[in-house]
Amino acid sequence: MICTITLVSDPQRKPITERLVRVATDAALTAGGELASAPAILSPERAVDLFVSGVDRPALSRALEIDDEFDGVDVAVQPADGRRKKVLVADMDSTMIRNETLDTLAAHLGFGDQVAEITARSMAGELDFLESLRERVALLKGYPAESSMAVVMDAIVHTPGAERAVKTMVRNGALCALVSGGFTFTTSVVHAQLGFQEHHANTLEIGDDGNFTGRLTGDQVGPSTKLDIMKALCARQGVDLDMAAGVGDGANDIPMLRAAGLGVGYYPKPIVRGAAAFRIEHTDMTTLAYFQGYSDEEIAG
């Protein structure tokens, strides 16, 4: 089996140099591999693919992870076949956008610290996700909905590289869904802005008086939902889960990240860092495309 080692870095901080490529090559050879072809530059000084055969992938991944030479570099070691995924399920808060929308909403209403603490514990896996979500939503009861949601939408900041990565996958035949434990009032806008074909999230109930009721309405999106949606999208595409990519940062993303062929923790919480086979911790979301072998010329502008 031919494997690909992808190195991605921020060229302003640590450019990918010929020396770094040699160090990675030597590590692959030490792990029992053989060079299969010449390196492929995906982005000058930013991203490169190395191709090796006969390597113990887990051993090589560990060796590169603990090597100080690769501090500041995002590294993926994976089979060369099937790298370009046909499904993407992506978390929204702190993944495809930089915000935690419920925290932003609560801060606007005056109880941000209380909600942010619960959010942090939930994302760290210390609390049941749906129970903690209902607890936080209950605090919204009686507050005006439309003006509060407008404040959140005005604060949204897209993650750098997110639009490029998603649109690149869509252009190459992938089915991409934004699936969030957050809320539909946000995902309904953000998914279209970033190029996703569909979105799934929780819906805040609003009373006849225009205020939040403190409850959710309709189906609720929890950790198992993200995996279920990933399976459904794979079925629609006629592919197995190894042809799916998942990306997220919190404990509620772990089931889908473990199931996906390319499960990526994006600046992950510690519990996710230990569960995700792949991680983006030093660069932006464009790396999701580089990990799939897309070059700058192929990535959506």
DSSP string, 158-202: BPTTHHHHHHHHHHTT-EEEEEEEEEHHHHHHHHHHHT-SEEEEE
Whether 242 sits among the annotated catalytic residues: the reply is no
Q: How far apart are CA 270 and CA 249, in angstroms?
A: 9
Q: Which of 93, 103, 249, 253 is catalytic?
A: 93
Q: Which letter, b or e, does each residue of 77-101 get, where b requires 16 or more Cβ atoms within 10 Å of its Cβ?
A: bbebeebbbbbbbbbbbbbbbebbb
User: How far out from the chain centre does Cα 191 lie?
Assistant: 14
Strand partners, 73: 9
Q: Which of 49, 74, 91, 249 is catalytic?
A: 91
Whether 91 sits among the annotated catalytic residues: the reply is yes
Mind telling me the catalytic residues?
A: 91, 93
